[in-house]
Amino acid sequence: MSERIVILTGAGISAESGLGTFRDAGGLWAQYDLEEVATPEGFARDPAKVHAFYNARRENCRAAAPNAAHHAIARLQAAHPAAVTLITQNIDDLFARAGAEALHMHGELMRALCHSCAARWPAPERMAPEGACPQCGARATRPDVVWFGEMPYHLDEILAALGAADRFVAIGTSGAVQPAGSFVQEAAAAGARTLELNLEPSEATPLFDEARHGPATALVPDWVEAVLAG
């Protein structure tokens, strides 16, 4: 029987597309205070600053292209005979542009959310505090992303997939953020074999059955070819 695969990705898979990671030297959290730009309290204090942070990232994302790792996962989803559930912590749209279907547990940079009526719609190029919701008219629009202290998306579907996984692979994530950092333990408890593909050893490495280290654009296509070769 073909194995059910669950993949978790983090910022490292998009690093070679030119999008910054968070916790590497020179990463986003070395340049910005996460309390100011990635918490609901920071947004309430200074929405213009938070919009500027995400407007700049939206611009970088539009200029970036999917890399060999995104394309390899799309190929795996299309060719593998059993389920391949892709969970991403990333808010960029590089998987969609590579043809892969992902559960965006931390939301999507290219979507906007009204925190008055919960409507969602494609984000304009530049969001601003005075932007109005197209559904209810409230000037309460924000990027549709999950900040610290907020509940990640798709958790029921994610936990069901982890509980049924034969193989769990984490790619380009430090494992520093919960609940994603604990998915390896959820999958292992369900009997899955676990593999880390990351540029370098992470604090989570000891939690995995196996770890391979190097750039995602090299490791991921090799791993996908090996899976498809059986």
Q: Which residues bind ligand BJW (CB under 6 A)?
A: 10-12, 15-16, 21-24, 27, 38, 89, 91, 106, 145-152, 172-174, 176-179, 198-200, 202, 215-216
Closest distance of CB 12 from ligand BJW, Å: 2
Closest distance of CB 116 from ligand BJW, Å: 21
Rounded Cα distance between 69 and 72, Å, is 5
Closer Cβ to ligand BJW, 11 or 227, answer by number: 11
Closest distance of CB 91 from ligand BJW, Å: 4
Closer Cβ to ligand BJW, 146 or 187, answer by number: 146
Which of 51, 70, 71, 106 is labelled catalytic?
106
Residue number, nearest CB to ligand BJW: 12
Closer Cβ to ligand BJW, 96 or 166, answer by number: 96
Question: Catalytic site residue 106?
Answer: yes
Structure tokens at 99: 């043809």
* Nearest CA-CA partner of 195 in 227, 164, 163, 217: 227
Closer Cβ to ligand BJW, 22 or 223, answer by number: 22
Rounded Cα distance between 20 and 172, Å, is 12
Rounded Cα distance between 84 and 167, Å, is 10
In contact, 135 and 116? CB cutoff 8 Å: no
Rounded Cα distance between 117 and 95, Å, is 28
Dihedral sign, CA of 57, 204, 171, 91? negative
Catalytic residues: 106
